[in-house]
Structures are given as C-alpha cells and as structure tokens.
C-alpha cells in the first residue's frame, strides 16, 4: 500500500508563492505517474501538474508559466513550486501516484490533501 504524505500548503496573498511537497512510501514498485491535482469548493478535481511514465510533464493551461513540478532523483518525492498565485488557485491540493503492474492493472493512490488559500 502506497502512502503519500503532503506538506506545504497554507495562506498566501495574491502574487505570492508556495511550495508543496509529497513523499511516497510503502512500495518497491516503480511509480509510473506522480503529480498534483486540486479541487476547489463546488468543482471537480482537476489536474494541476504531473510527471508521466516517460518522464515528461503535463500542466494545466491555467498554471503554465507559474507552477513548476519537480522531483528527487529517486522519483519518490515530488514538489510543486507555485508562483504568482491567484485567488482562483485556492483549493485543496492532492498528491497522486499511479502504479501500473503487468499486464495492465492500474493502482491509483491519493494523499490526504493540503489546503492552499490565496487571498486577494
């Protein structure tokens, strides 16, 4: 069972920055995808930024140029540096990890979520 532990959320003024961290543990299997989603009140959970199996990154259009995802060399900790934050970035941010086992069984894991609040 994979555990994802997030940290780094909080309250920040518009234009400010925050850095989120997510550490994975509990598996010896390679994590295929790992990244961040968010869910604002009354809205569906949406992709923010993620690393895919091939090592490439995907970003939501709304955060491109402002947010940067990175990871450690062991690929079990991911970070999300959020710059130029806007009130519309306010949400609970969830770390996500996906493991795909042979032949094609998908396991999705979620962190407990960390609140990010951007005041105007």
Residues 28, 39: Cα–Cα separation, whole Å: 29
Q: How many whole angstroms separate alpha carbon 84 and alpha carbon 73?
A: 27
pLDDT score recorded for residue 14 = 98
H/E segment holding residue 34: strand 33-39
Spatial CA neighbour of 36 closest among 107, 117, 114, 103: 114
pLDDT in tens, 20-58: 999 999 888 888 999 999 999 999 999 999 999 888 999
**Widest CA span of the chain, in angstroms?**
49
Q: Tell me the pairing of strands 46-51 and 57-59.
A: antiparallel
Q: For residue 69, is the peptide bond before it cis, meaning its omega torsion is within 30 degrees of 0?
A: no
CB 17 within 8 A of CB 83: yes
Do residues 96 and 108 make contact, with C-beta atoms less than 8 angstroms apart?
A: yes
59 confidence band (pLDDT: 50, 70, 90): very high
Q: What would the two tokens of residue 101 be?
A: 């086992």
Tokens representing 108 are 């999705």
**pLDDT interval class at 83 (50, 70, 90):** very high
The candidate with the shortest Cα–Cα distance to 43, out of 56, 65, 57, 62, is: 62
């Amino acid at each position: 069972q994979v555990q994802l532990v997030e940290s780094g959320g909080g309250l920040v003024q518009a234009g400010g920055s925050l850095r989120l961290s997510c550490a994975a543990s509990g598996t010896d299997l390679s994590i295929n995808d790992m990244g961040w989603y968010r869910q604002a009140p009354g809205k569906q959970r949406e992709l923010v930024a993620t690393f895919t199996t091939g090592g490439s990154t995907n970003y939501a259009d709304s955060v491109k140029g402002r947010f940067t995802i990175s990871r450690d060399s062991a690929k079990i900790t991911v970070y999300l540096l959020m710059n130029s934050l806007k009130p519309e970035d306010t949400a609970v941010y969830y770390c996500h990890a996906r493991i795909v086992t042979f032949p094609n069984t998908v396991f999705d894991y979620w962190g407990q979520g960390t609140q990010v609040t951007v005041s105007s």
